[in-house]
Structure 1
Amino acid sequence: MTTSAIEVRGLRKSYGAKVVLDDVDLTVNAGTVTALLGPNGAGKTTTVHILSTLVRPDGGAATVAGCDVVRNPDGVRAQIGLTGQFSAVDNLLTGEENLLLMARLRHLGAKRSATRVTELLEQFDLVEAARKPLATYSGGMRRRLDLAMTLVATPRVIFLDEPTTGLDPRSRHTMWDIVRGLVAEGTTVLLTTQYLDEADELADRIAVLDGGKIVANGTPDELKRLVPGGHIKLRFADSTALHTASGLLRESTLDDVDLALTVPSDGGVHALRTVLDSLDAANLEVADLSIHTPDLDDVFFALTGRVESKEAQS
């Protein structure tokens, strides 16, 4: 039976006359990754700040790991970790010293602190840099250290607010692998990201925020199927087969130059099977087949009316 780690109902927040969150509902199942997408000012970071007890909501209710964020903030804080948009490391300390400081703040005790720090240095591939000043750390190393500090007390729920912003592609993929490993061990992750491909790679579910409201919520594949433009492209060996197939598949678009047909499709198995069965019944062979489905760029534009690239959405 699936249990929820985060429950949000009717969440509201305003700053003066500006409504940031307007009756937001959200459920995050335990042991999964949910990504919050939306344009600048959509309310993503405000949502994270409310759920991590940094900001008090104006209305509605929210629980994290079974604890109410307003009535039991200490209970929430005991169960969560938060990695913000900017590294929260002390530049005057080494990586090891940063982790030890966090362990002591979490009251782990001297013996447990030392053991946990050793575990995290190994897990995040920071052993060789452990006693070096942070001035020698790359951006990816600093981000890994920041996430390691979040995990000192082994939180059940982690909030990652744009954790890979500014990282090079290799460092981003390293962070993705770390997140996947945490989820495999049962950790729940709520992620905000400015990279659409990151949400596609990591998220079990995606919630799209726009104007303070959740305008769509589902798996990446479910959201892509909301957007028109998906199609099956069929190539044939000769013009005769092409035109015969065009007569069978009446909604298709014909390309005589490439000997290709484009057939509208939602990208599902049933649609593909229907097309192939029609061709098989007519003894028509397909030389090449490809399936094209809308990506999250298309979804984002369709839902928010904004053009956002994979490298610039926030």
Structure 2
Amino acid sequence: MRNSVILSSGMHVPEQVYTNQYFNDLLGEDVDTWLRENVQIYERRWCNEEESVADLCVAAAEKALAEGDLKATDLDLLIIATDTPEYISPSTASKVQHRLGAVNAGTFDVNTACAGFVTALDIASKYIRSDEQYNKVMIIGAYAMSKYLNMQDKKTVTLFADGAAAFVLGADTSDSGKGFLASELTTKGEYADWMGIYAGATKTPTTAAVVAENDHKLKILQRFPSELNPEMWSQLALNLCKRVGVEPHQVDHFFLTQININSIQATMDRLGLPMSKTTTVMHNYGYTGSACIPMAYEKAKKNGKIKEGDLVMFIGSGGGLSFGAVAFRL
């Protein structure tokens, strides 16, 4: 049976670093203390005026290809997960495909907000498992939310940041036991109007009045229950453990959405596991949405925290509210 395995990966973040002191000065108050004590964000990266999400995608993709000693022409499919696209239409993936020279790759975008990378990992794996013409698939989680921030909105401007990370997945026919094992996608659509970018599309087209009110920027309209992510993430982990036939302690590493370190700690507590079984990247990169889970994977790989044969879970959530979980054997 064909299975989807991770061949290589890579990440890229903009050069511009914004420390918490920048926001103290911008907002005229001490936000650094709250950020350090509550979410453990110390600095983040933002695109410059000339950079866009496609630039981040291309740079991450090139690193993933180089690590796998692959050429762009080897790719059969390119999927980009983002809710900060290059354009409303056409897809970001089509722009990135051309810039990479991935002339043999079909393309499309996925938008399940910050759950997008896990969703793309699920989709790509099933393409590979079910269709012999897809042997190498690249997925990219990308985020350039700095372009959508209201610089005076303390609830959003201090948290959100930019970055991209890519996986190249390949077909394995060796019956090695590696690769995709199980997945689950679920949504709580009743929260769709709680956080998002609510202008600039068909419901509320961009007008001068919309721009004047910053309605085309990211807004948090209602505060999400603090227990929601830990409840959903831990339940998804338990569901996948049951399907794979393991106990939570047998999972070697968890890669979780990086919006709030308290949610990660609460999830690991619910599973009865130490924080050493997860990796966090919000400290120096802020919240990078669809990119944060593969960025955490890159950090864990670089630090030697994961190895061949490990059982890992990728669990994400994002506006909508969308949730996704995938179990992989490395």
Whether TM-score is above 0.5 comes out as no
| Structure of larger gyration radius | 1
**What is the TM-score of this pair, normalised by structure 1?**
0.25
By relative contact order (CA 8 Å, sep 6+), the higher-ranking structure is: 2
